[in-house]
């Protein structure tokens, strides 16, 4: 029978390291996605993920059941991501970003009607260009499909602020996509 997060946490607290392995397995992709929002590359996201899991193991005793484990570890991922970004701001090369985008672009389906004007690569590029908090709100809402309440828990802000952030994020994405499309048009001319 599949154990709940709370049961696994109890097992970890009594010294069963395998239980922590199971917790990591459950949330590795989620943590990676949040970390990716900061690191902007697979390698950086893996580095941040490692810090997130190590930190969560250290702090597991302070985990209260007021929030879900997912929200709790998401908050740690945000904090770790912010710390990482502060330290490594100047080291995120545009080359890394381009590499990601080229790989992503190869999977773009030309049949997607809703991305008729802007393909997935362009959308992702615009998304990565957003400011960290806005980007994270979008990742959590659309990629993780988190309800607003849970996002507010992860980002440690009110639900109203999350709604505003999402709304502004989409406006900025729209502006970015327009600019890209404008530049693309000029380049092709």
Partner 1 sequence: MKVCKKYQKYLKQYLAGEIDSGDESRLFDHIKNCISCQEVFQIHQSLADTQLDLPLPDSQEFVRLREKILDKIRLKESREPLSWYQILSEYFTFSFYKPVVAAVLLLIVFFTGFLSQRFLTDNRVQSKANLLKNIEHTAVKNTDLKAVENSPYIFRNVQFRKIDENNIALSFEVSSHVELISSKNDPLVKEVLVQSLLNPEPLGTRLKSISLTQDIVDPKIKQALIFTLQHDQSLAVRMRALYCLTAYRDDKEVQDAFLKLLKEEESVNMRLMAIDYLVQTNINDQALENTIPYLELGRDAAVRHKLNQYLNIEHTIN
Residue ranges binding partner 1 (CB under 8 A): 17, 20-21, 24-25, 28-29, 32-33, 36, 42, 46, 49-50, 53-54, 57, 100, 103-104, 112, 114-115, 118, 120, 123-124, 127, 138, 141-143, 147-148, 159, 162-164, 166-167, 170-171, 173-174, 177
Which pair of tokens denotes residue 50?
């490692």
> Cβ 178 to partner 1, closest distance in Å?
8
How far apart, in whole angstroms, are the C-alpha atoms of residue 95 and residue 101? 10
Nearer to partner 1 by C-beta: 75 or 120?
Answer: 120
The residue to which tokens 């946490």 are assigned = 9
> Cβ 88 to partner 1, closest distance in Å?
18
Which pair of tokens denotes residue 150?
């849970």
> Cβ 21 to partner 1, closest distance in Å?
6
> Cβ 65 to partner 1, closest distance in Å?
23
CB 130 within 8 A of CB 173: yes
DSSP letter string, 14-43: TT-HHHHHHHHHHHHHHHHHHHHHHH-SHH
């Amino acid at each position: 029978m599949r154990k709940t997060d709370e049961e696994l946490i109890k097992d970890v607290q009594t010294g069963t390291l395998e239980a922590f392995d199971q917790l990591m397995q459950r949330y590795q992709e989620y943590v990676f996605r949040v970390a990716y929002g900061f690191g902007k590359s697979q390698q950086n996201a893996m580095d941040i993920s490692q810090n997130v899991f190590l930190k969560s193991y250290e702090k597991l005793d302070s985990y209260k059941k007021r929030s879900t484990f997912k929200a709790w570890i998401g908050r740690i991922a945000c904090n770790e991501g912010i710390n990482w970004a502060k330290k490594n701001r100047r080291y995120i090369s545009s080359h890394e970003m381009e590499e990601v985008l080229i790989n992503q672009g190869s999977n773009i389906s030309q049949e997607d009607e809703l991305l008729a004007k802007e393909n997935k690569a362009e959308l992702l590029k615009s998304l990565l260009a957003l400011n960290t908090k806005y980007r994270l709100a979008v990742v959590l809402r659309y990629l993780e499909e988190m309800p607003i309440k849970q996002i507010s828990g992860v980002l440690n802000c009110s639900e109203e602020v999350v709604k505003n952030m999402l709304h502004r994020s989409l406006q900025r994405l729209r502006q970015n996509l327009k600019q890209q499309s404008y530049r693309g048009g000029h380049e092709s001319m």
